[in-house]
Amino acid sequence: MTPAARWAAAADILDQIGAGEPAEKALTTWARKSRFAGSKDRAAIRDHVFDILRCWRSTAALGGGATGRARVLGRLRQIGEDPETVFTGDGYALAALTDAERAAGDTPDGAVAMDLSDWLFDLFNRDVPGELDAMGEALRHRAPVFLRVNTLRADRSAAQNALAAEGIGTVPHALSETALEVTEGARRIAQSEAFRSGLVELQDLSSQAVVDAIPLEPGMSALDYCAGGGGKTLALAARLKGPVVAHDADPKRMSDLPARAARAGADVTLTQKPVGPFDVVLCDVPCSGSGSWRRAPEGKWTLTLERLDRLTEIQKEILAEVTGLVAEGGVLVYATCSVLSRENEDQVEAFLASHPDWTCQRQQRFGFETGGDGFFVAILTRRGM
Ligand SMILES: C[S@@+](CC[C@H](N)C(=O)[O-])C[C@H]1O[C@@H](n2cnc3c(N)ncnc32)[C@H](O)[C@@H]1O
Provide the β-strand partners of residue 135: none
Shared domain for 222 and 345, answered yes or no, is yes
284 among annotated binding-site residues: yes
Orientation angle between helical segments 68-78 and 39-54, nearest 10 degrees: 80
Backbone dihedral angles phi then psi of residue 216, each to the nearest 5 degrees: -120, 145
Q: Domain of residue 32: give its range.
A: 3-108
| Contact predicate 272/307, CB 8 Å | no
Query: Quick check: is 126 in a domain?
Result: no
What is the best residue among 248, 257, 334 to mutate for testing ligand 1's pocket, by most ligand atoms within 8 Å of CB? Answer: 248
Q: Does 121 fall in a domain?
A: no
Reported as a pLDDT band with limits 50, 70 and 90, residue 384 is low
Of the candidates 47, 79, 108, which is a domain's last residue? 108
Domain boundary among the residues 47, 78, 108 is at: 108
pLDDT tens by residue, 330-344: 999 999 999 999 999
Gyration radius of the chain over CA positions: 23
Atom of ligand 1 nearest to the CA of 229: 9
Q: Is 337 a catalytic residue?
A: yes
Q: Same structural domain for residues 48 and 66? A: yes
Kindly state whether residues 15 and 88 are assigned to the same domain.
yes
Q: Per the domain annotation, does 124 fall within a domain?
A: no
C-alpha span between 23 and 50 (Å, rounded): 8
198 with 249, same domain: the answer is: no
Does residue 224 have a known ligand-binding role? no
Residue-averaged pLDDT of the chain: 96
Tell whether 9 is covered by a domain: yes
**For residue 338, is it within any domain?**
yes
> Within 6 Å (CB) of ligand 1, which residues are found?
225-232, 248-250, 253, 284, 286, 314, 318
- Indicate if 187 and 47 belong to the same structural domain: no
Q: For atom 10 of ligand 1, which residue has the closest CA?
A: 286
Same domain, 196 and 210: no
Burial classification of residue 220, based on how many CB atoms lie within 10 Å of its CB (0-12 exposed, 13-18 middle, 19 or more buried): buried
Number of domains in the chain: 3
Helix (H) or strand (E) segment spanning residue 147: strand 146-149
Which candidate, 355, 276, 283, 340, places its Cα nearest to that of 308? Answer: 340
Q: Is residue 113 part of a domain?
A: no
pLDDT at residue 30, as a whole number: 97
Instruction: State the complex-level ipTM.
Output: 0.99
pTM over 0.90: yes
